[in-house]
Amino acid sequence: MMRQYELVERVKRYNPSTDEALLNRAYVYAMMAHGNQKRASGDLFFGHPLEVAAILTDLKLDDATIAAAVLHDTVEDTQATLEEINKSFGPQIGALVDGLTKIKRLDLVSKRAAQGENFRKLLLAVADDVRVLLVKLADRLHNMRTLGFMPPEKRKRIAEETLEIYAPLAGRMGIQEMREELEGLSFQNLDPEAYEAISRHLREVTSKSEKLVEEIEQDLKAKLLAQGIEAEVTGRQKRPYSIWRKMERKSVSFEQLSDIFGFRVIVGTNDECYRALGVVHTTWPMVPGRYKDYISTPKQNDYRSIHTTVIGPGRQRVELQIRTRDMDEIAEYGIAAHALYKEGVNDSSRLAKESRAYQWLRRTIDLLAEGDNPEEFLEHTKLELFHDQVFCFTPKGRLIALPRGATPIDFAYAVHTDVGNTAVGCKINGRMSPLLTELQNGDEVEIVRADGQTPPAAWESLVMTGKARASIRRATRAAVRRQYTGLGHQILERAFERAGRAFSDEKLKGALPRLARASMEDVLAAVGRGEMFSGDVVRAVYPDYKDERRPVPTVGVAQADGQSGESTPSGIPIRGLNSDMPIRFAPEGGAVPGDRIVGILTPGEGVTIYPIQSSALAAFDNEPDRWIDVRWDLETSDRQRFPARIKLQSINEPGSLAQIAQVIADHDGNIDNVSMKRRTQDFTDMTVDLTVWDLKHLNAIIAELRAKRVVSRVDRVNG
């Protein structure tokens, strides 16, 4: 375990003016707080925060971050309180420790929900101070290094979480060394056999290729020096997880991989980067399609470098990265490389200007924190952590970076949420294309929009980005809420009319405190969903009202042929099967135009339409708030079929089913389902589900069936 003076010495190596007193106080406080706590390995728990602090000293972070690393588990795992941390170490360190403390006593349904809620808390803290994330990543790295002491099930869960969230997050922050180690440790725990097999192959290849690697390094350095470019050239083999991903992605074996080694060329200036590229390409042939310029178009994590692959000495494929020393530092340390935090200055506005990675992180957090539940937050964050990207352009030349596999729908939402919500088509490189086309690097995308358009709910499963998925889900919820709000408004109008009381928006607003709702829309939506009964709303508006239960209403129902008994204009119109309201027909027997009908409200499901003679309606006699007056309001130019069910008794003889089916077909009926049961040796009971145009059409089919000799009885099923 690292001693107190060793921690101070590690910080003083890169920061001679470090606050030794602060580090010493943090060391002693944490040691006393953790006491004799042990880890799963049997080691003292206090060794863990010290190792986390040691990892952060390698990133050369400021005193406050190192102190927070030493203290990061005190509030969560000991009797220490956040108030004590604030008092002893100041609000800045207190805020860092608070951001790293998991939420206790989460009353959530699942572990996944708790995981999502804790991750949301972490990212919201990161939005205020990115050092929270750096400590968390170091914490996770040390936990992964000691994961072997955990039970197998927990080991698997932690490794999966690391591979899905924390390793990509380190990559997004540009901390490549940490990302690669997290990936390797996760891979080693999740698939130890594959990890060992690839590692063994790498050791064999390395032992055979040592001289070749040295030869390529020397050759490259000499070629560049001959052109006046002083360069540092180093070769390194790829990591096991990187090789495994490539084997999986390209479906190739280890022996088929030709670029196990990569070479890094470090030069002095941007100009020398491009000059070095010219030397390389004029000396050795380039592999087509393997050139990427991340200097002119940096990645979102601030990574800048030139990538190319050539056929080098010995006909060996050589993968090259050409960059300056500053670029190399950012490539290795990412957001931690910014001098801002080495100076110990906590200024998020300055960091936002300097770091594209932090800008991305803030945008993602702002987007994902808009009220989604914990599981959705976690899902959307994972979608935002894709590594591979494509770069596309708007017609005005704005660069949009998207994950590989993204579509114009993702592009539209990346431009602006309103653009995505109103998208109806797109042009890719000037040609009309489907909205589900996979975008490629360099595509110019123009989105075609239509006012009043809302995104289909099905888009949610087709998009690749968290922003698009979250926006579509919110738009869908808003549309459903508008439907329930409209339905609730009509239910309340009818309820107030039944009670003989006046209804107005102003009166309803005055009753909001009694209904415990923040807005009128909340009340209407709750009534529409069936979460609040209309009678309760009437009593909230008119406290003196006494609800006298009346017989179930059968009025207000218009006939399809234009006749109406006691119909009123207050019924909800049913416009075929494509109604804007959430409407369905009775599962037992359906309903057809010409039937007198009534609607029954089911919470969370909408309105079910029954024929007024349906026996199923008896179950709702004591629930008058669920009864909705409805009427047919069909356009004659838009004919549609409606569900009905009939029961028959037929004579059991060859050809009887064929005769019944022929009658239905001759009368333009459509059979959806037939079930048969032998009643006696001579008779068969048959149930036929069919669709018809209206009641007149159904009655004509029934009359023709009754006229058939093979049919002894026909009845319509009314549920």
CA-to-CA distance for 448 and 53, rounded, in angstroms? 52
Say if residues 535 and 627 touch (Cβ distance below 8 Å): no
What CA–CA distance (Å, rounded) separates 264 from 215? 14
DSSP state of 519: S
Active-site residue, from 6, 76, 160, 580: 76
Strand, helix or coil for residue 572: strand
Task: Tell me the residue type at 337.
Answer: A
DSSP 8-state secondary structure symbol assigned to residue 336: G
Q: Which of 309, 452, 470 is nearest to 382 (CA)?
A: 470
For the chain, how many residues are written?
A: 719
Question: Among the options 9, 20, 43, 77, which is catalytic?
Answer: 77
Q: What residues pair up with 425 in beta bridges, in sequence order?
A: 448
Cα separation, 494 vs 488, in Å, equals 10
Q: Is 77 a catalytic residue?
A: yes
Instruction: Round the CA-based radius of gyration of the chain to a whole number and report it.
Output: 35
Decide if 121 contacts 154 (C-beta within 8 A): no
546: tokens are 């006494």
Helical pair 176-190 and 152-161, crossing angle rounded to 10 deg: 150
Q: Please confirm, yes or no, whether 129 is among the known catalytic residues.
A: no
Kindly state the tokens that stand for 344.
Answer: 């110990």
Contact (CB, 8 A) for 609 and 585: yes
Give me the half-sphere count of Cα atoms (radius 13 Å) on the Cβ side of residue 446: 8
Question: Cα dist. 515→508, 512, 545, 650 in Å?
Answer: 10, 5, 15, 58
In angstroms, what CA-CA distances link 190 with 168, 169, 279, 598, 676? 17, 19, 43, 58, 54
Question: Which contiguous run of DSSP H or E holds residue 428?
Answer: strand 423-428
- Written as six digits, the tokens of 300 are 């979102």
Give 402-419 as a DSSP string. Answer: EETT--HHHHHHHH-HHH
**569: exposed, middle or buried (C-beta count within 10 Å: 0-12, 13-18, 19+)?**
exposed
Q: In the block, which residue shows the tokens 């508006």?
A: 541
Instruction: Tell me the pairing of strands 683-692 and 606-611.
Output: unpaired
Element (H, E) at 440: none
Closest Cα partner for 72 from 46, 37, 91, 90? 46
Dist CA 60 CA 333 (whole Å):
9
Q: Which amino acid is at 359?
A: Q
Active-site amino acid positions: 76-77
